[in-house]
């Protein structure tokens, strides 16, 4: 059994964030038929601080928005009324538990991670790092488990990975944790790797020296070239002390925003949440940005570019604490352009 990775309960936003949110929404001007870009300095931009921290802001001017890239998030789903919350919610989004009976408790985790990935630029609340990516939401939590900690059973996780592959996903986010290997998903992971689909898995929230599973599969040669492990960074750009370290996955590990990121914005306030689950959304979105800007890249090539372009956080080069370092999407895009040119 695996569980969802939320370190903290929803935290009321500080007054400064509330003041930002009630400012008048503004959008960057765009040509007719062209989606708007986030307006620097707007309330929406400031609330979406993880985008700037990932060095993604400049890539939108180069046409990298995630458009045309399907990203599957295996989580607790986004709810039946969520279509308007995303630029492109796949019609194949699904709840893999038929006739779910106990749809109660706090299961907003799936909608929160999805919003950090693919919420639109609309001048309200926050936007996702790959705001034009196609979100394939796959709900796979055990019926009734979210009354406590949302749990995911291995056979359903395997089914979810295969469902993502069957419906065109180029990237699959797995924001969940297990203390032991999950043998039931290994054949599905192998199929994903053979197709060049990138799996982004959460490092874990216990401050341990090694990531949890399925992230630990990034050390397995069957899957390693298609796997990324995502640790959590703070607003100040440092590694969150509670985030599991890179350990044996150091060559496939990056750090992305994951502490006190902004979600669930209403008319006057937002919530702050923390966890490596949320960093998964930024890392998966970064792959979508690379693939949308450079469609000639394979998934493993895009993952490699992202790893090579990360900013050092601890020792120079790859280290056992922060792996390859902090996510830097802008540098990765520049590296792709230089390689072509």
d(CA 96, CA 107): 15
Q: Are 187 and 159 in contact (CB under 8 A)?
A: no
Token pair recorded at residue 319: 């280290």
Q: Give DSSP secondary structure letters for 256-317.
A: EE-SSEEE---SS--EEE-SHHHHHHHHHHHHHHHHHH-TTS-HHHHHHHHHHTPBP-SSSS
CA-based nearest residue to 167, from 199, 197, 128: 197
CA-based nearest residue to 78, from 43, 41, 119, 45: 119
Question: What's the Rg (C-alpha) of the chain?
Answer: 18
d(CA 28, CA 229): 33
Q: Given the DSSP bridges, would you call strands 198-202 and 176-177 parallel, antiparallel or unpaired?
A: unpaired
Annotated active-site residue in 4, 48, 75, 93: 75
Q: Are 331 and 56 in contact (CB under 8 A)?
A: no
Annotated active-site residue in 4, 109, 153, 230: 109
d(CA 255, CA 237): 9
d(CA 260, CA 273): 5
**Type and span of the H or E element at 166:** helix 154-166
Reduce the DSSP state of residue 286 to 3 states and report it: helix
109 is catalytic: yes
Residue 122, judged by CB atoms within 10 A of its CB (0-12, 13-18, 19+), counts as: middle
CA-based nearest residue to 194, from 51, 300, 290: 300
Q: Are 21 and 270 in contact (CB under 8 A)?
A: yes
Annotated active-site residue in 274, 277, 292, 309: 277
Q: Mind telling me the catalytic residues? A: 75, 109, 277
């Amino acid at each position: 059994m695996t569980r969802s990775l939320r370190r903290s309960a929803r935290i009321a936003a500080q007054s400064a964030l509330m003041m930002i949110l009630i400012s008048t929404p503004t959008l960057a001007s765009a040509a007719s038929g062209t989606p708007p870009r986030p307006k620097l300095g707007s309330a929406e931009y400031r609330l979406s601080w993880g985008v700037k921290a990932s060095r993604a802001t400049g890539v939108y001017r180069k046409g990298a928005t995630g458009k045309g890239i399907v990203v599957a998030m295996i989580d607790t789903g986004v709810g039946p009324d969520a279509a308007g919350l995303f630029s492109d919610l796949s019609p194949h989004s699904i709840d893999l538990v038929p006739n779910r009976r106990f749809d109660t408790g706090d299961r907003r985790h799936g909608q929160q991670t999805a919003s950090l990935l693919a919420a639109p630029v609309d001048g309200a609340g926050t936007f996702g790092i790959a705001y034009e990516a196609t979100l394939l939401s796959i709900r796979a939590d055990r019926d009734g488990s979210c009354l406590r900690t949302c749990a995911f059973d291995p056979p359903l996780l395997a089914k979810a990975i295969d469902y993502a592959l069957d419906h065109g996903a180029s990237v699959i986010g797995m924001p969940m944790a297990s203390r032991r290997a999950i043998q039931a998903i290994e054949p599905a992971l192998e199929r994903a790797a053979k197709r060049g689909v990138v799996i982004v898995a959460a490092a874990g929230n216990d401050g341990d020296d090694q990531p949890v599973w399925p992230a630990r599969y990034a050390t397995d040669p069957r899957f390693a070239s298609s796997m990324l492990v995502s640790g959590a960074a703070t607003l100040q750009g440092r590694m969150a002390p509670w985030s599991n370290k890179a350990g044996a996955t150091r060559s496939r590990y990056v750090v992305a925003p994951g502490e006190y990121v902004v979600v669930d914005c209403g008319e006057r306030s937002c919530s702050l949440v923390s966890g490596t689950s949320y960093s998964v959304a930024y890392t998966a979105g970064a792959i979508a940005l690379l693939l949308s800007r450079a469609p000639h890249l394979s998934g493993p090539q895009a993952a490699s570019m992202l790893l090579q372009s990360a900013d050092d956080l601890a020792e120079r080069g790859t280290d056992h604490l922060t792996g390859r370092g902090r996510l830097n999407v802008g540098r990765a895009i520049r590296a792709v352009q230089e390689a072509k040119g």
